[in-house]
Amino acid sequence: MDLDDTPEQAEYRAQVREWLERHKAQAPVLQGEGALQDEQEIIAARRAWQGKLAEGGLAGVTWPKEFGGQGRGPIEQVICNQEIARAHVPGILDAIGVGMLGPTIIAHGSDEQKSRYLGPMLHGDEVWCQLFSEPAAGSDLAAVQTRARHQDDGSWLLSGQKVWTTNAQFASYGLLLARTDPDAHKHKGLTMFIVPMDAPGVTVRGLRQISGEAEFNEVFFDDVQIEDGAVVGGVGGGWGTALTTLMFERVTIGLGGEGLGFNSIRFARAIAGDEHARRDPEVRQRLGEIASELLAVRFTGYRTLTALQRGQIPGPEAGLAKVTIVNGAIRAGDLIADVQGPDALATDSEWAYMISFLPGLKSAGGTEEILRNTIGERVLGLPPEPRLDKGIPFSELRSKEGAAA
Amino acid sequence: MNLALSDEQEFLREAARGALSRYKTLEAARAALDRPSAPVTGLPDLWPTACEAGWPGLLIDEAKGGAGLDVFDAMLVLGECGRVLAGVGLLGHLPASAILNDSPAAAAWIGEVASGARRAAYLPAQPPSDVRDSWSADPAHGSAHAQLPSATPGDEQGMVTLNGSVAFVPDAPGASGMIGVALLDGRPVGVAVLSESPGVTVEPLVRYDATRSLGHVSFKDSPAVLLDAPEESLIAAWYIAQALIAAESLGSVETALQTTVAYAKERYTFGRAIGSYQAVKHSLTEVLRQLENGRSLLYYAGWARKGAPQEFALAASAARSVAGHALDTAARTMISVHGGIGATWEHDAPLYFRRAQLSRRLLGGTSGATDRVAGELLGQAQAA
């Protein structure tokens, strides 16, 4: 058991560090003195920086070489992330594209799709977004209702609405899950498409959150015409393709670990300066409990990496880490605000932002309740709840739901 | 980066599971509850099994007759003990052996401790914290910290005279000797005392969990060997004990969870297995979540002991805190998912519940470890 680099990993780390040392002056400044303010400028600068990282081999570390990647393993990806953080420079802008959507196209896309889309995605020339969730299909993703109808000329006509779409306001393409056969069972009648975000009929609208900021978008499709070659993974194969994306999403989160900044020492710093709070047994119990669980997540990340490195699928600890991080951070926000008083909720407080951001994060990537169901069933082997949606065409499901209500 | 168990570690764990499976520890634990007077009788004597397996010398260097393994290896064995609520004597013996291993003064007889010919018990001594300047011990009653025994220079070179007491010493009854910390002119020093020495009294106790051997230990002008272990070793012994009880607790959580999940699959109400109901499923995943967090922290503590000694206090305390909560949650969930049957004398659930209730109050308590986590982090935050 050790956390040290092997000689090969140490050599790779040195290479990455040396590259960053030589190029970090070109990285965009996002915080502190001289930080970029204009959103358009920030996006442009981060795209250019992603291009630099890709040229240097610091983007797409785990992508196969034939698609411009480095063909390396998850450990090297983590080493690369660690060195980027250490150099205090931004990482790639399109983490969703490069981390989840690109690998999905590599797994399921046609040769034409791979040669057309992967290069510009990796270099940040074309940013991507993930068009999966809908107002009535989140945790139950296979319930999507966005409809794609095959036209006589072979093209598809798309109509419906997506939501919680990060980066849609400046994305060039989206990977979209649509229903192509409502008479098939819910998981069978789905197809995955590549959608150009500048196609006529696509409308992107910012979705303001509790915090006041718009981290996500709503995306509307009104009879958007897309070509037949835009299908990824075959007509009717959308669910299998989506599962691949979701698997890469879990891996990305697993390797991200404390990347959200919810770590125990940061929370301790918010309290340490208050001499009374620092000695208060109740404050200490609360901090100690929160911190212990967040410390566990760091080592859960290492366990996940160990499994990946040995070619194993990460265990349940990877999925449960998200529950631990979010709930730990929620309790930390409460504790810090209890200690600091209403000032913690002032407009410019970092804690006010965190406190606002967290309730929604509980449902991100699937609600906590669904995650607990899935883990209870897949890991502990507990029997599933009875379901109404098995073995019937999707088109009949709505009336059945109505009758049950 | 590699957190996987080595082949040797897998073997150590499997061997421990095999060796302990030869005894009906749970049945014995239940039967012992019907004979509530101390010392507990009728429990299997597992020390010969421990000696045969080489467990007493796990933390002692090979050159001194031990196995020269790490705290993490010892934690694997304790986890197996916890799975079947086996009272082996290692929780007391292993932290004591770690102090001796760092004491050249113990060279003449450390071999007997490594082989298990002499069983030692660790006198729990809690190091100072960010808010408390002095060493302390668990109190016999109440919540205030107690003082450590005091040492005065003895008649012979290398000997001291001990006075004072230490409450709730794990595995003290029947131990050949006790090893811990005493204050000599206000300075912490390592001491070793034979149980048969003059003025040494061990009062055996039973507190709710008959599988846990405990005793109040007191000294009246008792001669003891002054150990030359450095202060870091005396501090580390406390955290080794925290890491070991954490590992033991998580072993108990594993069995409690397995048993409860099996029942949730076979017990039906309203035409469905109870494990299909979200309320039951979610409470079981909560046990799993806490168990997995605890496992991750066992790795942290096991790695930090050698890999980042300055973090060992934080890692071991965090492991203890999460493992203690996990055992509480698992034991209560075990009873409630089983329904009324889970609260009956004949069921195993009450045995795990008893273990949880006592464990969280020993060795500084689960809440003491939680407080230590906060203290370590607040200290780091202030230093930064």
Closest alpha carbon within chain A to B302? A1
Q: Amino acid identity of A115?
A: S
B380 to A289: CB separation less than 8 angstroms, yes or no: no
DSSP state, residue A47: H
- B231, B257, B281: which is the final residue of a domain? B231
The per-residue pLDDT for range A175-194, each reduced to its tens digit, is 999 999 999 999 999 999 99
A288 to B282: CB separation less than 8 angstroms, yes or no: no
Residue B378 buriedness (CB in 10 A; 0-12 / 13-18 / 19+): buried
Tell me, what's the pLDDT at A317? 65
Q: Is the confidence at residue A257, as pLDDT, over 80?
A: no
* B24 contact A CB<8A: no
Average pLDDT estimate for A161-180 = 97
* A387 contact B CB<8A: no
Binding-face residues of B in 33-72 toward A, CB within 8 A = 72
Same domain, B379 and B246: yes
Query: Does a structural domain hold residue B2?
Result: no
Pairing between β-strand A173-179 and β-strand A128-131 as defined by DSSP bridges: parallel
The per-residue pLDDT for range A104-118, each reduced to its tens digit, is 999 999 999 999 999
Domain boundaries, chain A: 7-93, 128-241, 261-366
Q: What is the CATH number of domain A7-93?
A: 1.10.540
* A300 contact B CB<8A: yes
Sign of CA dihedral A39, A44, A50, A53: negative
Position with higher pLDDT, B128 vs A302: B128
Same domain, B179 and B306: no
Same domain, B205 and B338: no
Same domain, B81 and B164: no
Same domain, B159 and B251: no
Q: Is the confidence at residue A258, as pLDDT, over 70?
A: no
Average pLDDT estimate for B168-174 = 97
Task: Quote the pTM value.
Answer: 0.94
What residues of chain A lie within 8 A of the CB of B272, using their CB? 383, 386
User: Mean pLDDT of all residues in chain A?
Assistant: 92
A302 to B299: CB separation less than 8 angstroms, yes or no: yes
Of the pLDDT bands very low, low, confident and very high (cuts 50, 70, 90), residue A306 is: confident
What residues of chain A lie within 8 A of the CB of B282, using their CB? 369, 372-373, 376
* A81 contact B CB<8A: no
Q: Is the confidence at residue B197, as pLDDT, over 60?
A: yes
The per-residue pLDDT for range B286-327, each reduced to its tens digit, is 999 999 999 999 999 999 999 999 999 999 999 999 999 999
Write the residue in B5, B285, B321 that is nearest to A289 by C-beta.
Answer: B321
Q: Among A195-209, A267-281, B30-44, B45-59, whose mean pLDDT is lowest?
A: B30-44
Average pLDDT estimate for B217-224 = 98
The CATH number given to whatever domain includes residue B98 is 1.10.540.10
Tell me, what's the pLDDT at A211? 82
Query: Does a structural domain hold residue B115?
Result: yes
Query: Does a structural domain hold residue B30?
Result: yes
* B367 contact A CB<8A: yes
Number of domains in chain B: 3
Write the residue in B296, B317, B377 that is nearest to A299 by C-beta.
Answer: B296
Tell me, what's the pLDDT at A316? 63
Average pLDDT estimate for A339-344 = 97
- B87, B119, B151: which is the final residue of a domain? B119
Same domain, B184 and B249: no
Q: Amino acid identity of A207?
A: L
Q: Do domains A7-93 and A128-241 have the same CATH topology?
A: no
Percent of chain B with pLDDT over 70: 100
- B190, B213, B231: which is the final residue of a domain? B231
Binding-face residues of A in 125-164 toward B, CB within 8 A = none
Same domain, B220 and B272: no
The CATH number given to whatever domain includes residue B353 is 1.20.140.10
The CATH number given to whatever domain includes residue B151 is 2.40.110.10
Instruction: Tell the CATH superfamily of the A128-241 domain.
Output: Butyryl-CoA Dehydrogenase, subunit A, domain 2 (2.40.110.10)
Query: Does a structural domain hold residue B43?
Result: yes
Average pLDDT estimate for B159-176 = 97
CA distance B325 to chain A (A): 9
CA distance B132 to chain A (A): 10
What residues of chain B lie within 8 A of the CB of A310, using their CB? 4
Average pLDDT estimate for A344-354 = 92
Write the residue in A3, A317, A382 that is nearest to B296 by C-beta.
Answer: A317
Write the residue in B273, B299, B370 that is nearest to A1 by C-beta.
Answer: B299
Query: Does a structural domain hold residue B245?
Result: yes
Of the pLDDT bands very low, low, confident and very high (cuts 50, 70, 90), residue A214 is: confident
Same domain, B267 and B367: yes
Same domain, B18 and B87: yes
Closest alpha carbon within chain A to B131? A279
Tell me, what's the pLDDT at A261? 75
Tell me, what's the pLDDT at A252? 74
Percent of chain A with pLDDT over 70: 97
CA dihedral of residues B255, B260, B263, B269 (deg, nearest 10): 180
The question of ipTM being above 0.95 is answered as yes
Number of Cβ pairs closer than 8 Å across A and B?
190
Using alpha carbons, list the distances in angstroms from residue B80 to A156, B228, B317, B324.
60, 33, 20, 16
The per-residue pLDDT for range A16-35, each reduced to its tens digit, is 999 999 999 999 998 888 88
User: Mean pLDDT of all residues in chain B?
Assistant: 96
Closest alpha carbon within chain B to A300? B296
A289 to B384: CB separation less than 8 angstroms, yes or no: no
**Which positions of A are annotated as active-site residues?**
249
Average pLDDT estimate for B91-116 = 97
Query: Does a structural domain hold residue B326?
Result: yes
For B313, the domain range is 233-383
The per-residue pLDDT for range A355-369, each reduced to its tens digit, is 998 998 888 878 899
* B348 contact A CB<8A: no
